[in-house]
Homo-oligomer: A and B are copies of this chain.
Amino acid sequence: MSAERLVVVGGDAAGMSAASQARRRRPASELEIVAFERGHHTSYSACGIPYFIGGDVEEIDDLVVRTPAEFREQQDIDVRIRHEVVEIDLDRRAVRVRDLEAGGERWEGFDKLVVATGATPRRPPIDGADAGGVHGVQVLDDGLAIRRALDEHKPRRAVVVGGGYIGLEMAEALVKEGLEVSLVDGAAQPMRTLDPDMGALIADALRGLGVTLHLEETVEAFETSDGRIRAVVTPGRTLDADLVVLGMGVRPNSGLAEAAGIAVGPTGGIVTDRRMRTRAEGVWAAGDCVQTRHLVSGEPIAIALGTHANKQGRVAGVNAGGGYATFPGVVGTAVAKICHFEVARTGLNEAEAASAGFETLSVTVESTTRAGYYPGATSMKTKLVVEKRSGRLLGAQIVGEENAAKRIDGLAIALWNGMTAEQMTGLDLGYAPPFSPVWDPVLIAARKAAERVEQAG
């Protein structure tokens, strides 16, 4: 009996995690594994790009977890970079692959398939979005392109379009590089995954860093000359720009799967079950190209985040390799370092909770990261959003300085387990003066939320 063949489409976190896990379950004599990646790199940390641009990370290769050669040598996984899968034929059980270097296409058969095609940066639907000097921040090659643009064109004025995590991290990195930076965002606050009161703290910090914020403005046009960006036009102003960074988020890159008849959901992400199986027999999908379940809202959601991609890829690979693993969904946890702030959130913010039909109460407490008397104690704000009737935790947000943000993990785990604020007041959290006040900020917030629920009840 000849070996089965697993084809993986996309060689970043999800795809290569899947390949790697499948290999751990089945040797090469049983399962041939081929991965096609259209870019130059495999298995890298796109989240590290802003730190490469800002100089915290010196070499782009530092962001590569494992190279194609390492996959080949260590795990007998046949990784082919610069090969793009342009069609999936489920009936023929084959993919059509274009060789981006040598040219030409060929069909490659598969018994099992993992689709890990990632996401595509949103671009404003206007002319000039493809001009020289306009960059997305999605794949490692984008990071290299921005670095090259900084070195070769010595831009002085940058405009960042979009105030999400990547947009803000890039704005900060470009300030560090000495550029004059403006940020344009359609919302009233940057970082709209936070409630406005918490987002306002981030806006102030960015202004303090020297970033000019143009909020509630959207990009109407890009002015170009000789194919290069010259200015960004909003209804209110024209911003001269030598460099534009698009941080408008991404959408699942699910077109290839959809064209093959693999079901795609309302979010644009590929539909999978909790074992990451698509609705097509013998086809799994994982990473930024899928939709998953938000465990608090109960709604489908597409979240492009390396940590989910890795976990989903692992689950797809375990199952494709004949094992059993599940990805239950997400609660929307995210952390970021913006200026001197650590920012974190999990679950639903007030607007998201309202849109999911919850009646909520919110509390915000200000506390310190360590005992007030211990050196290095800094201030942090913790906000909890709870269901008014039950007191159940629905979401949490943290804005603080050093040692603040990772407290979101405990809140995410409490949320995951459906705890109420009242139950959380009893939690046994680590206390010692270098790590926490005797009442950890999480406990203070839980206590205050429980009191509010009791008063409202």
- Which A residues contact B (CB, under 8 angstroms)? 13, 45, 47-48, 51, 56-57, 62-63, 165, 295, 305-308, 310-311, 314, 325-337, 342, 344, 346, 371, 373-375, 403, 405-410, 412-414, 416-417, 419, 425-436, 438-440, 442-443, 447
Contacts and interface: CB of A to CB of B under 8 A. Distances in A.
A335 B427 CA distance: 15
A367 to B, nearest CB: 13
A319 to B, nearest CB: 14
A432 B311 contact: no
B435 A62 contact: no
* Protomer copies: 2
Given A403-B403, A410-B413, A435-B406, A425 B373 contact: no
A430 B13 CA distance: 17
Nearest to A447: B314
B56 A375 contact: yes
Given A406-B436, A410-B409, A436-B406, A335 B431 contact: yes
Contacts of A56: 374-375
B430 A374 contact: no
B428 A405 contact: no
Contacts of A330: 428
A438 B373 contact: no
B331 A57 contact: no
A335 B47 contact: no
Contact of A310 (B306, B326, B434, B438): B438
B416 A428 contact: yes
A306 B430 CA distance: 11
